[in-house]
Chains A and B, each alone.
Chain A
């Protein structure tokens, strides 16, 4: 008897639970609608009288909590709030995966933000720009002086033409920081083996030979993610000039994968595996594994990007470390950082422009630099930490000599996985360098043909 009542109670509870939660769920839907219409009501005026504006600024980014960008942008948000006291800043930190996969869908709806961080490049920002999902920022860039603060090579990733190819056309995004690939090295290990910082590629090779002779695999590598492809590209760049980059990234001329820098880079990569500079067992390792191996002192050299810098500063306590530009190369992987974009569907564009402007101000840029990032418009004398100052100096050297060569997976959508697969074969030594080049040439050519056709 009791059991029957107990059962009935369970059913009743379940039914009530369903009714309540459906109501709640539906209500959360309608509250989204009302907040969208609420923000439409505000910010009707221009930026002339900021203090009398009402409304909401919906702001998204996906940089890690402790990263230099997040720290600097939090400050920018504070400044914005001071200057726009009647505006609510609705800031949400997002998952990178969600934005990358669904940006097109989000920006085609009215659930998107007013200003957001987005990845630079043809396949990402370029694609959305070509579909009219991003606001044209050219006028703002001119009038607010952003165009003057960014060097031409950094502007490449801010401007896209009608096909979504970077380098020319309207402004669609504004970067706050830069990034590039360099060589991280374990100073203590170098000293212990009597190695000086190499300035040419032969010196670099000799240094790695010394490590191999001493029984250590010198270069930390990860075959399952971006590092392998990036190393190949850097090796190719040691043989290349600007016109190669224009051909590869901007499709100015067809790229011959079997001859020229690409082929040479693949050969050298293959040699490095054979000579034991790169572990033959790194095909399944992820970038995270590579980083922790370096931090743990297991391998003394890591060829990767400035995005590791902050984390290395926090976590490396057991040895002295430093960075140097890849020897023997005028070109390096690198570009502007991710860019701020203003979705076309935004109804608070003036507020968005104001925010972007604030992020370009010296106090925000200096904070970014001092937190371990690479600002694009900071005062060099305001950077206090010597390692960071060196990091920024190296970046400026490359940027100003137009040495930023972007990244190898940019030209074609989905090329990232193609590169990973190809260089896993190289690490496993199951394909020769020319076979590896063949493997990537096909998808590259198909992809470029598609982009140029439509």
Chain B
């Protein structure tokens, strides 16, 4: 995964006539570029324009300059929603990546070798299944589980922990952790699938050599597995972080941002402003700020990735 690091130094000095140089490769970017401008670039510019207006979605927008941004700066709901985003990052990036890594390793390295691959495939499919479920239905079903008279409280009663039963989604203190739990359930499958795929390309000979040398499971995991699958780790970290900052569906299905903004996230706040409050200009401002933040975080992660690759190339 060395897109960003300077691997060009290793290019052969001999330039044969059959390799015409780099100019012609630009043509391959043309289809992607056209689609990008039409679907992303243009709309992004238009959205930024809308953020400078006041508009209800019908009729003509009215230009108001930076008014929306000033209002945003003073809006406590907006800041709360970003605080909740941090919780979403924990629930959608950190926990699933850690658990996913462990799970993938156990499934692939430990169980895979001892039980054969078809059973492991079934287990992997089971862990991935929540990703395939439409989010609206996940909301309905988790609603049944987390209701005051739902399955989870019934279970707590059954094992004698009645004192711990709560209105999980209705109490502002427990709503966010409850949503985080649902998000972990939804997200786990994705890192598991990617990491298992990554583990598939680690040369087993390296493991065996280490085993011969007396390295135990954890030592092998730290010294061999982790560095070998570093590229996939970055992919998972980057994509899950973007998804966490952008998360909308489960919040909409479970709590509509409530109770009392305990689970409000920027994307839901933007949606509500766009389509319920019919304050499109303000919604566009929220979306613009959210996009900028996502871009900054993503570029930060990619720089980190590049730095890590540079360190690897310079021999560590």
* Residues of chain A at the chain B interface (Cβ within 8 Å): 101, 104-105, 108, 123, 127-128, 131, 133, 223-224, 279-286, 289, 413-414, 416-417, 420-421, 424-425, 427-428, 430, 454
Among A131, A279, A284, which residue has the most Cβ atoms of chain B within 10 A? A284
0 or 1 for each of B136-158: is its CB under 8 Å from A? (1 = yes): 00000001001110000000000
Partner of A430, one of B59, B172, B273, B278: B172
Total A-B contacts with CB atoms under 8 angstroms apart: 87
| B residues near A281, Cβ cutoff 8 Å | 148, 167, 170
CB distance B170 to A284 under 8 Å? yes
CA of A374 to CA of B58 in the docked complex: distance in angstroms?
A: 33
In the complex, the 3 A-B pairs of residues with the closest C-beta atoms, listed nearest first: A284-B170, A283-B170, A414-B277
Which one of B11-19, B251-259, B305-313 is at the interface?
B251-259
Partner of B168, one of A105, A279, A284: A284
| B residues near A286, Cβ cutoff 8 Å | 143
CB distance A283 to B58 under 8 Å? no
CA of A294 to CA of B261 in the docked complex: distance in angstroms?
A: 29
Partner of A224, one of B62, B170, B261, B279: B170
* A and B contact pairs by CB, cutoff 8 A, 27 listed: A108-B58, A123-B278, A127-B58, A128-B58, A223-B170, A224-B258, A279-B148, A281-B167, A282-B148, A283-B167, A283-B170, A284-B167, A284-B168, A285-B148, A285-B170, A286-B143, A413-B56, A413-B276, A414-B273, A416-B276, A417-B257, A417-B272, A417-B276, A421-B260, A424-B170, A428-B171, A430-B172
Q: Is B36 an interface residue (CB 8 A)?
A: no
Q: Is B103 an interface residue (CB 8 A)?
A: no
CB distance B278 to A424 under 8 Å? no
Residue of A nearest to B271 (CB): A101
Give B55 Cβ to nearest chain A Cβ, in Å. Answer: 11
CB distance B170 to A421 under 8 Å? no
CB distance A425 to B170 under 8 Å? no
Give B265 Cβ to nearest chain A Cβ, in Å. Answer: 14
Give B54 Cβ to nearest chain A Cβ, in Å. Answer: 9
| A residues near B148, Cβ cutoff 8 Å | 279, 281-282, 284-285
CA of A128 to CA of B275 in the docked complex: distance in angstroms?
A: 14
Residue of B nearest to A100 (CB): B275
CA of A133 to CA of B169 in the docked complex: distance in angstroms?
A: 40
CB distance A421 to B258 under 8 Å? yes
Residue of A nearest to B139 (CB): A286
Q: Is B57 an interface residue (CB 8 A)?
A: yes
| B residues near A416, Cβ cutoff 8 Å | 276
Interface residues on B, range: 20 to 34
CB distance B256 to A224 under 8 Å? yes
Give A363 Cβ to nearest chain B Cβ, in Å. Answer: 37
| B residues near A127, Cβ cutoff 8 Å | 56, 58, 278
CB distance A283 to B171 under 8 Å? yes
| A residues near B275, Cβ cutoff 8 Å | 101
Residue of B nearest to A282 (CB): B170
| A residues near B62, Cβ cutoff 8 Å | 454
Residue of B nearest to A123 (CB): B278
CA of A133 to CA of B259 in the docked complex: distance in angstroms?
A: 36
Give A451 Cβ to nearest chain B Cβ, in Å. Answer: 10
Q: Which residues of chain B from 245 to 295 have a CB within 8 Å of any chain A CB?
A: 255-261, 272-273, 275-279
CB distance A420 to B256 under 8 Å? yes
| A residues near B58, Cβ cutoff 8 Å | 104, 108, 127-128, 131, 133
| A residues near B261, Cβ cutoff 8 Å | 421
Q: Known A284-B147, A284-B169; judge A428-B259 contact (CB<8 A).
A: yes
| A residues near B273, Cβ cutoff 8 Å | 414
Given A285-B148, A413-B278, A428-B260, 6 new contacts (CB under 8 A): A108-B58, A127-B56, A131-B58, A281-B167, A284-B147, A284-B167
Q: Known A413-B277, A414-B278; judge A285-B147 contact (CB<8 A).
A: yes
CA of A285 to CA of B143 in the docked complex: distance in angstroms?
A: 9
CB distance B259 to A131 under 8 Å? no
CB distance B276 to A424 under 8 Å? no
CA of A127 to CA of B279 in the docked complex: distance in angstroms?
A: 13
Give B139 Cβ to nearest chain A Cβ, in Å. Answer: 10
Residue of B nearest to A422 (CB): B260
Residue of B nearest to A101 (CB): B275
| B residues near A430, Cβ cutoff 8 Å | 172, 260
| B residues near A414, Cβ cutoff 8 Å | 272-273, 276-279
| B residues near A123, Cβ cutoff 8 Å | 278
| B residues near A413, Cβ cutoff 8 Å | 56, 276-279
Give A269 Cβ to nearest chain B Cβ, in Å. Answer: 16
Among B147, B170, B255, B272, which residue has the most Cβ atoms of chain A within 10 A? B170
CA of A279 to CA of B58 in the docked complex: distance in angstroms?
A: 41
Partner of B258, one of A104, A105, A420: A420
CA of A427 to CA of B279 in the docked complex: distance in angstroms?
A: 29
CB distance A424 to B277 under 8 Å? no
CB distance A289 to B259 under 8 Å? no
CB distance A289 to B147 under 8 Å? yes
Residue of A nearest to B168 (CB): A284
Give A412 Cβ to nearest chain B Cβ, in Å. Answer: 8
Q: Which residues of chain B from 41 to 56 have a CB within 8 Å of any chain A CB?
A: 56
| B residues near A223, Cβ cutoff 8 Å | 170, 259
CA of A384 to CA of B277 in the docked complex: distance in angstroms?
A: 43
CA of A424 to CA of B264 in the docked complex: distance in angstroms?
A: 14
Give B75 Cβ to nearest chain A Cβ, in Å. Answer: 12
CA of A281 to CA of B277 in the docked complex: distance in angstroms?
A: 28
| A residues near B276, Cβ cutoff 8 Å | 413-414, 416-417
CB distance A224 to B172 under 8 Å? no
Residue of B nearest to A454 (CB): B62
